[in-house]
Amino acid sequence: MRKLSILTCLVLLASPLVLTPANAATPRLGGACSKIGSIGDTPKARYICTQSGKKNVWKLWTPPLPNNNSTKNGNKGSGDAGGSQSTQGNPQVFKTAQGGKSIIEAPIPIALPIPQSTDPNELTFANVINHVSDIPQAAWKKVQAVLASNPEVKIPSQIWVGPTTKLDITGGVSKVQEVLDRSAKFWNGFSQSKYISVYFYNYADEPLAEKQLLDVTKNRKYNPDLEGLLGAMKAGCSKTDCTWGGSSQVPGTDDGQMMSGQSGTNTHRLTLDGAGITGDYIHLIEGAQWIGNKNCTAGKNCDENSLMHVFSPCWITSGPEFYFGLALTDTTYESYRSDRWNLAFDMGPTHATDYSQPSLRNYLFTESPATCYKDTSRGSSFMLGPNVGALVTEILTAISGPQSIMAVEALGGRGQDFPTAFKNVYGISWSDASTILSKVLAAEYESFPPPPK
């Protein structure tokens, strides 16, 4: 999976859809900005683009307060205290913001907080350190159970393949559609893109992919500011192949976009089976939890992905991509267990942790979205997402099921900060959970080969 993983990691490293601020100029209080909801950082402050009268201006960003609004069944959330907050089967809840705009509360298809099992054979935060070897299979089984039980959902999509492009997936366009449908089915119940445009291209077809993207942008009336995206598509291609990929919500819309450069020579089984597409779909789901967010009601150019990155530590952005890319593609536990072995040190050596329990706990608990996305160099905290983040996702899946991780994002879309959302999903504080998770991770890393130097 290593060629696949390097390819999909480039989604996070290069994609202007994910990481690039709305304005190249340094933001300043009251200064003009373009996209409502986009984030700008300076050494001393973080700003968010908001509407003031008829203008879009930078205002100081403040962390969202806990969402203590009553839920459908009358219970109230209790911030980091983790009170009962049943949201099972909860549809999108519309509220009215100032100016008459609608706020959509991201739906969550499971009851919160997720109860810890009293069955001694089930994994919990209390006993997981004594059952480290049981984690992979427990998590894989829970993924397969959700995939089997969720009802199907069809999301309209357009799949464009360049005229000379050979897909790095066996089965062509029909297989791509199958992978998209499987991903949509798995995340059914959460907010998802209402329409998806997918572009596959090699070096020769890259200019045609740009034209197709521009045509779709015009026809669907997207924001035409595509300079960064088109530049990334060019930069991700060489005369032998294209390796860049990106996926996210189209800012200010309910639509999603996926770009995927193709080599036409990839022979890895997971790539051929569509693991990269499965992983890229995660970013569409993550961004979709901010559709209709209160900061997106002032204008149609709101950037849901920027809002998501204000909330999400780096490990929870890229970890699920790599974990579910495996768990939803491998059809047997034996193949999953074999492929999982490569998760541990996927992105090579790191200076962010030595993989001991104290350093892993420090990494998890102190990683901040305000800083972790700024350094994407090899060995940085950001680069631990595909390995440490993937293993954390597996542990949380084994304990509370695969939908739990997206429920955290959905509460972020509703306005809660990360520690509050985590507590309201798992019923345990992020401080306590990160300590337990670091102990489990340290025990797991003892079973892997020594980390690369």
Parallel, antiparallel, or unpaired for β 46-52 and 39-41?
antiparallel
**For residues 440 and 383, what is the distance between their CA atoms, to the nearest angstrom?**
20
Q: What's the pLDDT score for residue 62? A: 60
Q: Measured between alpha carbons, how far is 113 from 427 in angstroms, rounded to an integer?
A: 5
| Residue-wise pLDDT tens digits, 163-172 | 999 999 999 9
The residue type at 437: L
Percent above pLDDT 90 for the chain: 53
The Cα–Cα gap between 125 and 122 comes to 10
Mean pLDDT of the chain, nearest integer:
83
Q: Mean pLDDT, to the nearest integer, of 416-432? A: 97
What is the rounded distance in angstroms from the CA atom of residue 225 to the CA atom of residue 245?
18
pLDDT bracket for residue 414 (50, 70, 90)? very high
Give pLDDT, residue 369: 92
What is the model's pLDDT at position 10? 34
Is residue 194 within 8 Å of 254, Cβ to Cβ?
A: yes
- The whole-number average pLDDT for the span 48-62 is 77
What pLDDT is attached to residue 272?
87
User: What is the identity of the amino acid at 216?
Assistant: V
CA 35, CA 107: separation in Å to the nearest integer?
Answer: 25
Q: For residue 365, which phi and psi values (nearest 5 degrees)? A: -75, -30
pLDDT at 298: 53
pLDDT tens readout for residues 270-283: 888 999 999 999 99
Span 300-352, pLDDT tens digits: 567 888 889 999 999 999 999 999 999 999 999 999 999 998 888 866 678 88
Q: Where do we find the tokens 């026809």?
A: 219
Q: What is the pLDDT of residue 261?
A: 92
More confident residue, 67 or 200: 200
The 10s digit of each residue's pLDDT in 385-412 is: 889 999 999 999 999 999 999 999 999 9
Confidence grade of residue 95 (pLDDT, cut at 50, 70, 90): low
The confidence score (pLDDT) of residue 35 equals 78
Indicate if the pLDDT at residue 429 is higher than 50.
yes
The whole-angstrom separation of Cα 383 and Cα 169 is 26
pLDDT digits (tens, 9 = 90+) for 220-279: 998 878 888 888 888 889 887 888 888 989 888 899 999 999 988 877 888 889 999 999
Tell me what the mean pLDDT of segment 275-296 comes to. Answer: 89
Integer CA distances (angstroms), 320 to 223, 240, 286, 289, 327, in order: 28, 30, 10, 15, 10
Top-confidence residue, 434 or 81: 434
Which of 257, 383, 380 lies closest to 317, judged by CA?
Answer: 383
Of 400, 395, 11, nearest in space to 229 by CA: 11
pTM for this one? 0.82
Report pLDDT digits (tens) over 354-386: 999 999 999 999 999 999 998 888 888 898 988
